[in-house]
Chains A and B, each alone.
Chain A
């Protein structure tokens, strides 16, 4: 089975649409969206509706902290995020709020655990940014592959049979063998607001038959997305960030 994994869309319609179009060129059996569908970007309603459609057709979707803040209860956030989420909440209709609030914090299918942030306590929204930050996730689940988002910088970690957790360098676009002697964790990176210096939508392709994971990048019209952010009167920093991918 080939699974397309997207996360942290953050209301960026241009980026989300570009990835969905890109997916048409691949054979995909399943889609997973790991949360933060809204927040920061200019088109939360559109993104929310599309994920709802995907979910109705069998896609996995889990809740992120921005979805939670917009639909359920306020969260501790940076000033920038708070400004955007207040704007977002006002834009969303009842149906959309209901959908976001209905999303689970994690989903498990077969050997794979899908979660927005660290798997050990999904509701505390911990960032997985290093081997030591990845270790609690491996301790919390027996899943062979943990897929998460939240951090907008892709990361790959493995846990060997001795329980030692290490991060692994990788190159986007090249399939990484998920060797069977280890368990794996991938922070997929962000569709709608990448922060690793590459202004392209990040997503991942998991092939469960070949036991391979590929980090992928899809270019999109960043200028149009930034223009939408400005047109909606959202903070300028959110527009600049899309152009630079940082």
Chain B
């Protein structure tokens, strides 16, 4: 007879306290351990008498994946227990509590929608970087740290790209939570990271409008409708939603994964640069598609068995990098800026789906008040932006894949490093000025970025013969 959890139960040094939560497939307990001072919780699956295959496999998957994750966006696992006595996962208690109560107050003020969405997308981007697709993202599965990070829980349906998929053969029906499940998940695909971006789209729709795009379906037949039926445009529900936000939401909700954002980092980028989101027809939509359009889609989609095979998680992320190009716009930097543009153009031949974020830094004084205008009264910030756009003119890339940012800071290298980190940048490309002695003693910006950035850095130099003497 397997052990059942109850207050006071001792197992592997853990002592159970109060039951905190009873869910459909598991209970959550307060737990203490003499060797671990931090507040912890224990999750114990509710296994039905006899053989309860789905619950068991789901918990095996969760034990396997959650112990391999790290970082602020997942709970730190302290211990796991085998099925021979009582299966459990003990993890840190997340101090900021559940996200669900906040979600239930939707529609939220638009500034809150963006702030919350940015935190959720950042969490998902971090998970994907660890080669894990969650596949059951919903408000209930987000917790918050007091420090602000969103934390994802419940990896029972998740897929680790580098581990065998124990769930692949387990169920004949699609797995997931009906309001949030992506069309390809309905078709039983379990290896597309863009399924998580669809779920993010559903939640973003919910935060902005207070509704779910396809209601609260109870049957798979109803779930299937999202393959051809478009949701009510968010702006039809709440007119103050800006067109660019509707564009982001509806793009995330595209039926074909190829038409969605291709990575969480790309989605985060658009949320962070609303002025630069390219608006398409769906941004202006104020009502659902007419019955003829829907009927045409139904004729195609009712026969579909799968979308094109997704890339592996790592390959998918490598396909759609965000590349920051730090451009030196000073007159003596001209040959370098030219070389940099050629290098970026070359990179785009190899990585045609990359996004290029052009950055220039205005160095500010460490102490004292900076002048935002030059001697002629021109706004420095605006001037730099204009110059940056002029520099990028030579790069043939559609507008929505090019962005421009002017940063300010006393330490240009640090400004570039920080910008790359907050924007989930994959690579920084920048120039290095010559080899002058002064530079060697004062240190160069590029050397600092190479040493301290969290991503790859490519440094471009002008061949010696070009350097002015």
Contacts and interface: CB of A to CB of B under 8 A. Distances in A.
B64 interface: yes
A174 to B, nearest CB: 5
A170 B82 CA distance: 23
B53 A179 contact: no
Given A162-B51, A169-B168, A181-B82, A176 B163 contact: yes
Interface string B58-70: 0010011000000
A52 to B, nearest CB: 36
Interface of B: 51, 53, 56-57, 60, 63-64, 82-83, 87, 162-166, 168-169
A160 B82 contact: no
A52 B57 CA distance: 43
A160 B57 contact: yes
Contact of A156 (B64, B87, B164): B164
Contacts of B64: 177, 179
A124 interface: no
Contacts of A24: none
30 contacts: A156-B164, A160-B53, A160-B60, A161-B56, A161-B83, A162-B51, A162-B53, A162-B56, A166-B169, A167-B169, A168-B164, A168-B165, A168-B166, A169-B168, A170-B164, A171-B162, A174-B162, A174-B163, A176-B163, A176-B164, A177-B64, A177-B163, A179-B63, A180-B82, A181-B56, A181-B60, A181-B63, A181-B82, A181-B83, A181-B87
A161 B53 CA distance: 9
By secondary structure, the A interface counts as loop
A170 B162 CA distance: 8
A182 interface: yes
Interface residues of A, number: 18
Contacts of B56: 160-162, 181
A180 to B, nearest CB: 5
Given A162-B56, A166-B169, 18 more contacts: A156-B164, A160-B56, A161-B56, A162-B51, A164-B53, A168-B164, A168-B166, A169-B168, A171-B162, A174-B163, A176-B163, A176-B164, A179-B60, A179-B64, A180-B83, A181-B60, A181-B82, A181-B87
Nearest to B68: A177
Contacts of A169: 164-165, 168
Contacts of A168: 164-166
A168 B163 CA distance: 10
A129 B57 CA distance: 23
Contacts of A166: 169
Contacts of B57: 160
